[in-house]
A and B are shown apart, each in its own frame.
Chain A
Amino acid sequence: MPLTQDEQSPRVSARGATEEPAHAVPRQRVPKTRYRVRKQTWRDAFKRDWQLYSLAIVPLIFFIVFKYGPMLGNVIAFRRFRPGGSIFGDEWVGLRYIEMFINDPSFWHVFTNTVVLGSVTMVVCFPLPIILALMLNEVRQQYFKKFVQSISYLPHFLSIVIIVGMLMQLLSLEGTVNQIIGAFGGEEVPFLQRAEWFRFIYVGSEVWQTVGWGTILYLAALTSIDDSLYEAAKIDGAGRWRQTWHVTLPGIRPTMVTLLILNIGSFINVGFEKVFLLYNPLTYETADVISTYLYRVGLVSNNLSYATAIGLFQALIGLVMVLSANVISRRTTGTSLW
């Protein structure tokens, strides 16, 4: 990284200098000063921009302490940790904790649950905002469109505690869902105590929370599609469906790909808080995921190093997945995050 910065520096400083009239020099002298600028470039940068650098100090301290600190704290996955001792552990134990979870059947159980829940959530929750955005795009009355948008964004702003509270009321034995079942003569179902219902409830409420807010980026992309493309498609005899297929969808493809990559990166971290609030020992069979398991192992049973090893494994999977999705997408579609 510093190397590429160095290579670029003459250009960058030269451009910086032209912005400042104090440094403005006759054009023919620029090549002469280049060599000197290259050698003193950091000193020049600080002299010119010390106020900018000083503004970055506090945010950088924040990142180092609260983001990179815990990242380094992951070393306790390989070290024995004593409560009250160093936050980076006391002595190396090698791969002991890694072997521990590889040989732990409960770990593989929650790993499978995580993969299933994460994939189902992604498969269901990724396409729905696209469909909703296309539907909204077909609405002619702007006030109606705005109204639907306002309503559907709302769940995004609610605390997960409220969402789970509402779910519990709706799904309780006296709740609306059981009333409907009762009206059709069915038997009441204690949904939240049934492991076979958990995934359905989780994914369904996830749709409710995310579908509206998920449209916001697609709607932005839709407004930027060139209208002459629709004109051309129409002249070629394309109806509404074929216009959607050949103009609209390709127009929002970069947005779709970007969001898909981000989804792939986060799917292993399925919403810990919602699972944690929704599950109970009766539904562990399908509901228990890596993050809830490591919470119980680490902070309830106090096996901090073991839980850290699991957490590190999970974070690395997420990182590898987002990096590979990014590479694959750059090769195949030409769209990537960076």
Chain B
Amino acid sequence: MVTDIRTTDLAAVRPRLTARSRGERVFGAVNATLLVLLCLGMLYPFITVLAQSFSSSGAIKAGQVNFLPVDFNVDTYAAVMSNEQFWRNYGNTVLYTVVGTAIAMTLTTTYAFVLSKPHLKGRKVLIGIAVFTMFFNGGLVPNYVLISALGMKNTMWALVLPGAISVFNLLVMKAFFENLPKELEEAAQIDGLGWYGIFGKIVLPLSKAVIATMVLFYSVAFWNDWFAAFLYLDKSELFPITLFLRNLIAGASTTASEGAAAAGSTTAQVSANIQAVTMILTVIPILTIYPFVQRYFVSGVMLGSVKG
């Protein structure tokens, strides 16, 4: 019984060890059912919003839209997509995400590379400088004062620079670099390659999985951020799409709460399908790249966390 185990497939090993009793089959079925229900619960909000985005506001107001669109139409998409402000803010988000991710990747990879060299004198201090910021930080007001004093208000830099290194990502990357085979670097040193050369020609090409993971993490963070924009930007032509969406939602909900309870909800519902469309259009880029990078981030994060 033990001999036919393929030890490489670790997750599959354990179940095969035990013969299935009746109790275990019941357990397996209950377990699977619960997990399917969980998936439905996870997906339900997406499904409703997707259905609402194709429905008329009247049907939403009547509370008819749950799983499937009612009065199917794409007019709301056409209306939102003909809005100039929407496209300008969408473009801003793309710009902030690309610039932010490029800066963040440059800083994170170089620093992680430096920290991954165990012989480096002062390495512990360099690590400590980064890790301490995980547990203690400046707080909202000092950050606000600093960004204002640097003259970054109403510029892209206020959104892009303060988030340039996430210490968590830095540590995952450092762990990945530490696990690369040392022999290649040593061979390169014999050939007279300096650290710049080793970094650019050996380490980076070997690190595609972790780089893909980090690009995903950073770009999702920049794409999703709205609060920095809310704090530091006053001009609506600079807003990212998340802030545009937030103002849509907040506008609807304040009218609702001012009108209080029952009476006010009509105002909120006028824009329910517009909100739904904007939400869908905002998450689409993330949903599209997600399946492709998923296999990378699972292995990338696991490696970093197990070793680090």
Q: What residues of chain A have their CB less than 8 Å away from a CB belonging to chain B?
A: 1-2, 4-5, 9, 12-13, 15-16, 19-21, 41-42, 45, 49, 51-53, 55-56, 58-60, 62-63, 65-74, 76, 81, 87, 132, 135-140, 142, 144-145, 147-155, 157-162, 164-170, 172-176, 178-179, 182, 188, 190, 192-193, 208, 212, 216-217, 219-224, 227, 230-231, 234, 240, 265, 273, 276-277, 280-282, 291, 294-295, 298-299, 304, 307-308, 311-312, 314-315, 318-319, 322-323, 338
Complex: A62 Cα to B161 Cα, angstroms: 8
> B302 at the A/B interface (Cβ < 8 Å)?
yes
> B34 at the A/B interface (Cβ < 8 Å)?
yes
Can you name the residue of chain B whose Cβ is closest to the Cβ of A227?
B13
Contact residues in B for A152 (Cβ distance below 8 Å): 38-39, 42
Contact residues in B for A142 (Cβ distance below 8 Å): 11-12
> CB within 8 Å of A: which of B51-69?
52, 60-63, 66
Chain A CB within 10 A, most for which of B13, B27, B125, B265 = B265
Complex: A314 Cα to B139 Cα, angstroms: 9
Q: Are B114 and A174 in contact (CB under 8 A)?
A: no
**A277–chain B nearest beta-carbon distance, Å:** 7
Q: Are B249 and A164 in contact (CB under 8 A)?
A: yes
Complex: A175 Cα to B35 Cα, angstroms: 25
| Partner among A4, A55, A66 whose Cβ is within 8 Å of the Cβ of B110 | A55
Complex: A166 Cα to B272 Cα, angstroms: 10
| Partner among B114, B257, B268 whose Cβ is within 8 Å of the Cβ of A56 | B114
Contact residues in A for B245 (Cβ distance below 8 Å): 159, 161-162, 165
Q: Are A308 and B125 in contact (CB under 8 A)?
A: no
Q: Could you pull out 9 A-B pairs where Cβ atoms are within 8 angstroms?
A: A55-B110, A165-B275, A167-B45, A170-B45, A223-B10, A227-B17, A230-B14, A230-B17, A277-B249
Q: Are B66 and A176 in contact (CB under 8 A)?
A: yes
| Partner among A55, A58, A168, A323 whose Cβ is within 8 Å of the Cβ of B113 | A55
> B153 at the A/B interface (Cβ < 8 Å)?
no
Q: Are A70 and B137 in contact (CB under 8 A)?
A: yes
Contact residues in A for B254 (Cβ distance below 8 Å): 280
**B269–chain A nearest beta-carbon distance, Å:** 7
| Partner among A49, A63, A73, A165 whose Cβ is within 8 Å of the Cβ of B129 | A63
Complex: A74 Cα to B149 Cα, angstroms: 15
Query: Contacts A59-B111, A62-B164: A173 and B265 contacting too (C-beta < 8 A)?
Result: yes
Can you name the residue of chain B whose Cβ is closest to the Cβ of A50?
B195
Q: Are B261 and A169 in contact (CB under 8 A)?
A: no
**B281–chain A nearest beta-carbon distance, Å:** 11
**A271–chain B nearest beta-carbon distance, Å:** 11
Q: A42-B121, A160-B226 are known contacts; what are 8 more A-B pairs with Cβ within 8 Å? A: A63-B133, A69-B138, A70-B137, A73-B138, A157-B286, A223-B11, A231-B17, A338-B131
Complex: A9 Cα to B60 Cα, angstroms: 70
Complex: A319 Cα to B139 Cα, angstroms: 13
SS of A interface (majority) = helix
Complex: A216 Cα to B302 Cα, angstroms: 7
**A328–chain B nearest beta-carbon distance, Å:** 16
> B262 at the A/B interface (Cβ < 8 Å)?
yes
Q: What residues of chain B have their CB less than 8 Å away from a CB belonging to chain A?
A: 2, 5, 7, 10-15, 17-18, 24, 27-28, 31-32, 34-35, 38-39, 41-46, 48-49, 52, 60-63, 66, 106-108, 110-111, 113-114, 117-122, 124-126, 128-131, 133, 135-146, 149, 161-162, 164-165, 186, 189-190, 194-196, 199, 220, 223-227, 231, 242, 245-246, 249-250, 252-254, 256-257, 260-262, 265, 268-269, 272, 275-276, 279, 282-283, 286-287, 290-291, 294, 298, 301-302, 305-306
Q: Are B110 and A59 in contact (CB under 8 A)?
A: yes
Contact residues in A for B242 (Cβ distance below 8 Å): 159, 161
Can you name the residue of chain B whose Cβ is closest to the Cβ of A152?
B42
Q: Are A318 and B111 in contact (CB under 8 A)?
A: no
| Partner among B14, B121, B305 whose Cβ is within 8 Å of the Cβ of A5 | B121
Contact residues in B for A145 (Cβ distance below 8 Å): 11
Complex: A136 Cα to B186 Cα, angstroms: 42
Q: Are B196 and A299 in contact (CB under 8 A)?
A: no
Q: Are A139 and B31 in contact (CB under 8 A)?
A: yes
Query: Contacts A62-B107, A174-B269: A55 and B121 contacting too (C-beta < 8 A)?
Result: no
Chain A CB within 10 A, most for which of B260, B279, B301 = B279
Q: Are A308 and B164 in contact (CB under 8 A)?
A: no
The 8 A-B residue pairs with the shortest CB-CB distance, nearest first, are: A70-B138, A73-B142, A311-B139, A159-B224, A16-B119, A59-B111, A45-B121, A51-B195
**A297–chain B nearest beta-carbon distance, Å:** 9
**B115–chain A nearest beta-carbon distance, Å:** 8
Q: Are B223 and A304 in contact (CB under 8 A)?
A: no
Can you name the residue of chain A whose Cβ is closest to the Cβ of B122?
A5
Query: Contacts A160-B226, A322-B135: A12 and B35 contacting too (C-beta < 8 A)?
Result: no
Can you name the residue of chain A whose Cβ is closest to the Cβ of B49?
A166
Q: Are A227 and B14 in contact (CB under 8 A)?
A: yes
Contact residues in A for B279 (Cβ distance below 8 Å): 162, 165-166
**A135–chain B nearest beta-carbon distance, Å:** 6
Q: Are B117 and A308 in contact (CB under 8 A)?
A: no
Contact residues in B for A308 (Cβ distance below 8 Å): 139, 141-142
Can you name the residue of chain B whose Cβ is closest to the Cβ of A326?
B135
Complex: A221 Cα to B265 Cα, angstroms: 48
Contact residues in A for B46 (Cβ distance below 8 Å): 154, 166
Contact residues in B for A12 (Cβ distance below 8 Å): 119, 121
Complex: A219 Cα to B43 Cα, angstroms: 22
Q: Are B63 and A234 in contact (CB under 8 A)?
A: no
**B184–chain A nearest beta-carbon distance, Å:** 13
Contact residues in B for A157 (Cβ distance below 8 Å): 220, 224, 286, 290
Complex: A41 Cα to B261 Cα, angstroms: 72
Contact residues in A for B121 (Cβ distance below 8 Å): 5, 9, 12-13, 41-42, 45, 49
Query: Contacts A59-B111, A142-B11, A160-B224: A154 and B290 contacting too (C-beta < 8 A)?
Result: yes
